[in-house]
Chain A
Amino acid sequence: MVKRIFKNTFGLSIIILLISYGIIVGILYDYFGDQIEREMKAEAAYIACGMEVVGKDYLEGFRVNGHVNGNSVETHKNRITWISEDGVVLYDSNVNETTMKDHSNRQEVQEAKEKGEGYEIRYSDTLQEQTVYYAVKLKDGSILRLSSAYNTVFSILISMLQPTVILVVVIVVLSYLLSKRMARKIVAPINNLDLVNGEMEEEYEELVPLLKRVRKQNVLIERQMDDLQTQQTKFQALTEHMREGFLVLDKKETILSYNVAAVELLGASKDMDYTGENIISFDRHRELREAVKEAIAGKRSQSMLENGERIYRIVANPIVTEDVIRDETAVRYAPMGEFVPEEQVDGVIVIILDETEKEKRDQLRREFTSNVSHELKTPLTSISGIAEIIMNGIVKPEDVSGFAKNIYEEAGRLIGLVNDIIFLSRLDEETASYVVEDMNLLAMAKQVKERLQIPCKEKNISIHIIGEDVIMKGIPSMMEEVLYNLCDNGIKYNKQDGRVTVTIQAFEDMNVPKVSIKVEDTGIGIPQEDQERVFERFYRVDKSHSRAIGGTGLGLSIVKHVVMFHQGEIQMDSILGVGTTITVTLPLEFSVAE
């Protein structure tokens, strides 16, 4: 502002200066011309007068001595030349007249001859400068001429050079100071303008339209800011409540936005703001980086990432921003499998999904299938093998009954297995007809003990049943199955000469009468990591599927189902090599599960 005003002021001053110079010089020039002419006329008259009285000698007094060339003639003295009628120079005050040429053809001389006087301004060959000549015809016909150096416009200007320079300096200083002051004065009220809600009557009325526009835009900006804020809040609410990790990156792998889930899933620091950081600061897994790189190259990519015990699926998707249509930026995601040219990719969206549970379930299903087929196949294989041997007649007739016994046993096992499966599937359906009856658990346990006499004897295991007579309402066939399976397991997974203790006790839990059935054994125990899984169907701690122990892998699964059907709970404590205690808690009153 100061610069601009200074420029203007300075320019204006200079222009005015120049114009005034022109005018002054013009006026002065005319004035000086007139003055010289008048003076010369007067002088010529005096000299003519003098000559007529004194004669030629009068002129000798004007001669400038020692300066024949006339180069250093003092200028304030006018030069006097006397020329005869026929043009011969008779006298010259500054120059030796004998050297001078004929002067009759000089303009002023001729003029004087004709009109009595002549006046001219021209360049003098003799004096070599601009000269004013005035010639006058004397009475005897000769001509007297005066000449004087003439001040040209240029010389006037030169003589004014020094004051001019001083003037310019003054102008510069003054205009600088002035413009600074002016700028301050002009700007001060503008700077003090209240753009948001000031009064309309401002110091400069020229500014009112501008102010109006500014205020209008202020309102608009405010509205847009509000909109943006709402959108931001919405976006944040959306991403923050996602369980999936969410990252937005630009083309240079710099993080633009991310949500809490992403931080939690990948284990980044919660105290750090990763916005503007490279993705590698967020997480260093190769799978993530490679997925991002691929997406930046324009390809939608997926990869699995293992982070400790969790398994994540990472989906990286290139973002393509299409040309702006009516001020709205259309963001498009590349569909699966579509390849976007790299130069069109503007950024990447990364979604991180926790697939640990899914992976686990898949694993379980795979194991279940392999277990069940194994359980079914083993007895069938031996049945078919033995039957084949008999068919081919390799077996001696007296051994046939032994092999038949094997077939019978294996078939029995298969039937047991199928029965168990049927039992379980009936429980699953829960549509099976059942009769709720009172039953004495202690008596039932004793019955079960009787049924298990044979396997007990094989390992010399003693079963102890202690507790009180408890009557509970339930489905006797199911409960018998529970007791049978628990005791059977206690025997099967016991050591030689071990013992199984069954304790049945009634108690009250928050005013609800309940019964607890505790089955303790002194067996091999269950490893910690398998304790949760032994209730799964066909799950075996011993993965070798050895038939040394037998069993179907369904026992505890049935127990769990029945207990759940009766709204009870199961608790398991087991120490490897010491024994297992399974405690089942059941309500005495039967109510159907929802």
Chain B
Amino acid sequence: MRNRFDTQLELLNKELIEMGALCEELIALTQKSLIEGTDYVEFARAKELEVDRMESDVESLCMKLLLKQQPVAKDLRVISAALKMISDMERIGDQSLDIVEIAEYVKNCDEESKQCIEEMANAAGKMVSDSVDAFVRRDQTLAKAVMDADDFVDDLFDTMKKRLIQILSEEHADGEMYIDMLMIAKYYERIADHATNIAEWVLYSITGMKVSNNKDS
């Protein structure tokens, strides 16, 4: 019985990492479509569907584990953290797809804005990667680093916002494009928030303490 439980826990671990890997791929797609300007919408949509499917898979696995095995202590924490993490990952997947979808409308923006958004993309992508890594390695330090990095992405978003306000106040600016740009920046900021959440849940599953970064999401 216990043995079966252990195998199922292992499966849960594996599925979570796989889901994290899918999120990473999706973020990589957003970066590619922003920089290279290639159309990845269909590809990203397929991946996003896969993330959704995995979410329901993992969810039912967690439910099965909770009901049939009635885990306690650490196992219970891991499973409940997993339940929370998958919804964050699902959101990351959704927002990545949204970025890919509007990426083509911002193709013609100025070089400097592009660099700024690229920096945000890199930072948010790294946070997602690190949060999944923290989960894989059960690494508290890395999880805390992810939570700290959130402030950096927030600052980048503020800078970006100010920049865009300034550009839009100029007369000849293409308003629609820069609004899209702002949306993309906001999406990355949200992705970073979700990565922070994942890191918090990782920390919770290890220590049993819910450390909140005073951010809602």
Contacts and interface: CB of A to CB of B under 8 A. Distances in A.
Same assembly:
yes
Interface stretch (B101-109, B129-137, B201-209): B129-137
Contact of B21 (A269, A271, A272, A286): A286
A312 to B, nearest CB: 16
B25 A281 contact: no
Given A269-B139, A272-B137, A281 B21 contact: no
Interface string A233-273: 00000000000000000000000000000000000010110
A286 B25 contact: yes
Interface string A266-306: 00010110000010110011100100000000000000000
Given A278-B10, A278-B13, A278-B14, A284 B139 contact: no
A564 B136 CA distance: 51
A272 B133 CA distance: 12
Interface string B4-34: 0000001001100110110011000000000
Contact of A269 (B14, B24, B132, B133): B133
Contacts of B137: 269, 271-272, 281
Interface in B57-92: none
Most B-side CB within 10 Å, residue of A281, A284, A285, A289: A284
Nearest to B139: A269
Interface residues of A, number: 10
Name the interface size band of chain B: 10 to 19
A272 B17 CA distance: 16
Nearest to A272: B137
Contacts of A286: 21, 25
A316 B133 CA distance: 24
Given A269-B137, A269-B139, A284 B24 contact: yes
Contacts of B136: 281
Contacts of A285: 21
Contacts of B18: 280, 284
Most A-side CB within 10 Å, residue of B13, B133, B136: B136
A250 to B, nearest CB: 14
**B contact face: mostly helix, strand, loop, or mixed:** helix
B32 to A, nearest CB: 11
A269 B136 CA distance: 10
B198 to A, nearest CB: 14
A281 B13 CA distance: 9
A419 B20 CA distance: 59
Nearest to A282: B136
Interface string B113-134: 0000000000000000000110
A203 B24 CA distance: 70
Contacts of B133: 269
Contacts of B21: 280, 284-286, 289
Contacts of B17: 278, 280-281, 284
Contacts of B20: 284
A280 B132 contact: no
Interface in B141-183: none
Contacts of A272: 137
Nearest to A271: B137
B92 to A, nearest CB: 14
Nearest to A254: B10
Most A-side CB within 10 Å, residue of B24, B132, B137: B137
Contacts of A271: 137
A266 to B, nearest CB: 12
A286 B136 CA distance: 16
A286 B21 CA distance: 8
A511 B143 CA distance: 56
Contacts of A289: 21
A507 B134 CA distance: 57
B139 A280 contact: no
A280 B17 CA distance: 7
A285 B24 CA distance: 9
A286 B17 CA distance: 12
Nearest to B18: A280
Contacts of B132: 284
Contacts of A284: 17-18, 20-21, 24, 132
Contacts of A269: 133, 137, 139
Nearest to B17: A280
Contacts of B25: 286
A286 B137 CA distance: 19
B141 to A, nearest CB: 10
A589 B85 CA distance: 71
B136 to A, nearest CB: 5
Interface of A: 269, 271-272, 278, 280-281, 284-286, 289
Given A269-B139, A286-B21, 5 more contacts: A269-B133, A269-B137, A281-B17, A281-B136, A284-B21
27 contacts: A269-B133, A269-B137, A269-B139, A271-B137, A272-B137, A278-B10, A278-B13, A278-B14, A278-B17, A280-B14, A280-B17, A280-B18, A280-B21, A281-B13, A281-B17, A281-B136, A281-B137, A284-B17, A284-B18, A284-B20, A284-B21, A284-B24, A284-B132, A285-B21, A286-B21, A286-B25, A289-B21
Give the top 4 A-B pairs by smallest Cβ distance, nearest first: A284-B21, A280-B17, A281-B136, A269-B137
